[in-house]
Chain A
Amino acid sequence: MLEIKDLHASVGVTPILKGIDLNVHAGEVHAIMGPNGSGKSTLAQVLAGRDTYTVTGGQVLFEGKDLLDMAPEERAHAGVFLAFQYPVEIPGVSNAYFLKAGLNAIRKSRGLEELDAIDFLALVREKMKLLEMDEALLHRPVNEGFSGGEKKRNEIFQMAVLDPRLAVLDETDSGLDIDALKIVANGVNALRRKDRAMIVVTHYQRLLEYIVPDFVHVLYDGRLVRSGGKELALELERRGYSWIEEEAAAAPGARK
Chain B
Amino acid sequence: MTTSTDSIEELANREYKYGFVTEVEAETIPRGLDEEVIRTISRKKNEPDFMLEWRLKAYGHWLGMTEPRWPNVKYGPIDYQNIIYYSAPKPKKKLESLDEIDPEVLKTFEKLGISLEEQKRLSGVAVDAVFDSVSVATTFKEKLAELGIIFCSFSEAVQTHPELVRRYLGSVVPLTDNFFATLNSAVFSDGSFCYVPKGVRCPMELSTYFRINSADTGQFERTLIIADEGSYVSYLEGCTAPRRDTNQLHAAVVELVALDNATIKYSTVQNWYPGDKDGKGGIYNFVTKRGACRGVRSKISWTQVETGSAITWKYPSCILQGQDSIGEFYSVALTNNFQQADTGTKMIHIGKNTRSTIVSKGISAGRGQNTYRGLVKILKGAEGARNYSQCDSLLLGDRCGAHTFPYIEVKNPTARVEHEASTSKIGEDQLFYCKQRGISAEDAVSMIVNGFCKEVFRELPMEFAVEAQKLLGISLEGSVG
Chain A residues engaging chain B, CB cutoff 8 angstroms: 48-52, 71-73, 75-77, 81-82, 84, 86-93, 97-99, 101-103, 105-106, 109, 141, 158, 162
Contacts and interface: CB of A to CB of B under 8 A. Distances in A.
A87 B438 contact: no
B429 interface: yes
B453 A90 contact: no
Given A51-B3, A92-B452, A93-B447, A71 B435 contact: yes
A76 B3 CA distance: 19
Contacts of A158: 437
Nearest to A107: B438
Contact of B433 (A88, A101, A105): A88
5 contacts: A75-B436, A87-B433, A93-B451, A98-B447, A105-B443
B3 A92 contact: no
B427 interface: yes
Contacts of B427: 88
A156 to B, nearest CB: 13
A154 B454 CA distance: 22
B447 A82 contact: no
A86 B434 CA distance: 14
B433 A90 contact: yes
A90 B435 contact: no
B428 interface: yes
A91 B449 CA distance: 9
Contact of A72 (B429, B436, B447, B454): B436
Nearest to A80: B436
A88 B430 contact: yes
A51 B450 CA distance: 25
A156 B441 CA distance: 23
Interface string B449-481: 011111100000000000000000000000000
B405 interface: no
B448 A90 contact: yes
B454 A92 contact: yes
B440 interface: yes
A102 B438 contact: yes
A102 B437 contact: yes
Contacts of B20: none
Q: Which 4 A-B residue pairings sit nearest by Cβ, starting from the closest? A: A92-B451, A102-B437, A93-B451, A76-B438
Contacts of A48: 432, 436
B448 A93 contact: yes
B439 interface: yes
A72 B435 CA distance: 6
Interface in B276-332: none
B437 A99 contact: yes
Interface in B402-438: 427-430, 432-438
Contact of A84 (B433, B438, B443, B454): B433
A101 B447 CA distance: 9
Contact of B447 (A73, A88, A90, A162): A90
B437 A76 contact: yes
A93 B453 CA distance: 10
A86 B433 CA distance: 10
B436 A93 contact: no
Contacts of A106: 438
A99 B437 CA distance: 8
Most chain A CB inside 10 Å of its own CB: which residue of B428, B433, B441? B433
Nearest to B4: A51
A158 B438 CA distance: 12
A162 B437 CA distance: 8
A141 B440 contact: no
A101 B443 CA distance: 9
A187 to B, nearest CB: 17
A105 B438 contact: yes
Given A88-B429, A109-B438, 5 more contacts: A51-B428, A75-B436, A101-B439, A102-B438, A105-B439
Contacts of A86: 429
Contact of A82 (B430, B436, B440, B441): B436
A90 B451 contact: yes
Contact of A103 (B432, B435, B438, B440): B438
Most chain A CB inside 10 Å of its own CB: which residue of B438, B439, B453? B438
A77 B451 contact: no
Most chain B CB inside 10 Å of its own CB: which residue of A76, A88, A106, A109? A88
A90 B450 CA distance: 10
Contacts of B441: 73
A81 B440 CA distance: 15
Contacts of A82: 436
B430 A73 contact: no
Given A50-B432, A90-B447, A93-B448, A73 B454 contact: no
A55 to B, nearest CB: 14
Contact of B453 (A92, A103, A141): A92
A94 B192 CA distance: 39
Interface in B1-60: 1, 3
Most chain A CB inside 10 Å of its own CB: which residue of B3, B448, B455? B448
A82 B433 CA distance: 9
B298 to A, nearest CB: 31
Contacts of A72: 432, 435-436
Contacts of B432: 48, 50-51, 72, 88
A90 B440 contact: no
A238 B304 CA distance: 63
Contacts of B1: 51
Contacts of A73: 435-436, 438-441
Contacts of A101: 437, 439, 443, 447
A87 B1 CA distance: 21
A101 B454 CA distance: 17
Contacts of A102: 434, 437-439
Contacts of A52: 428
Given A52-B428, A105-B443, A141 B436 contact: no
